[in-house]
Amino acid sequence: MKKQQTAAEFLAELAADKEYVEMRRAKDEALMKHRAELASAEVPLVEALRLVGLAVSSVWDLVNTAKSYPEAIPVLFEHLHKPYPERIVEGILRALAVPESRPRWKELLAVFEAAPAQQTGGLRWAAGCALGAAADDGVVAEVIRIVGDARYGFDRAALLPALARSKDAKAQMLLQELRDDPILGKEVKKLRRISEKGPE
């Protein structure tokens, strides 16, 4: 019976494999180069955010903070349509996923409707996150229209929380109807469990 290889032995074997080591090095170099290119491309946005008092090194710093940043919203919208790499545009949209974006909801809607679908993530999902966070009952009819449109696939899931917090009867009715939806059903049930559980 062959002795089972330990993790340490496996790693030592990989380290001795010149072809693997070279492939790993090439991948690491390509990743570092890509990150450097993104950082360089993002400089105008980062500088504009610093001018309004935000000490950030990337727009993703805003996405990952729990603090509010109302002073950043005009800057983010100003840079939204500039020719940045997709990853940076995605970061701008994710950073706009806050209630302060509500006055420019129609602009976000246009981005959502124009963005291509992707299997996971991508610009349409990010725009959906922004729409969902910025939505209130003043735009609930549009939210209902989007969530009810199967052409938008799973990207509609980002707007489900907006329906869940709505006082509109049609919004609540649509959520009920979507419980058995093959694409959104699981997300609707998850939302229901969270709302039933309530704040801890």
Task: Count other C-beta atoms under 10 Å from residue 21's C-beta.
Answer: 12
Token reading at 108: 């976000």
Residues of the chain with pLDDT under 50: 1, 199-200
What's the pLDDT at 29? 73
Residue 200: per-residue pLDDT = 42
For residues 126, 172, 175, 89, the Cα torsion angle rounded to the nearest 10 degrees is 0
Whole-Å CA distances, 20 to 12, 25, 54: 12, 9, 43
pLDDT, residue 190, reads 87
Q: Which long-range contacts (CB under 8 A, 24 or more apart) does 141-145 make?
A: 141/170, 142/109, 143/171, 144/168, 144/170, 144/171, 144/174
Distance in angstroms (rounded) separating the CA atoms of residues 128 and 156: 7
The C-alpha angle 136, 138, 144, rounded to 5 degrees, equals 75
SS3 57: coil
Question: What is the pLDDT at residue 51?
Answer: 97
CA angle 120, 158, 87 (to 5 degrees): 45
Q: Give the per-residue pLDDT at 199.
A: 46
Q: Which of 59, 64, 129 is nearest to 92 (CA)?
A: 59
Q: What angle do CA 154, 126, 84 make, to 5 degrees?
A: 135
Q: Which pLDDT does position 9 carry in this prediction?
A: 72
176: its two tokens: 């009920």
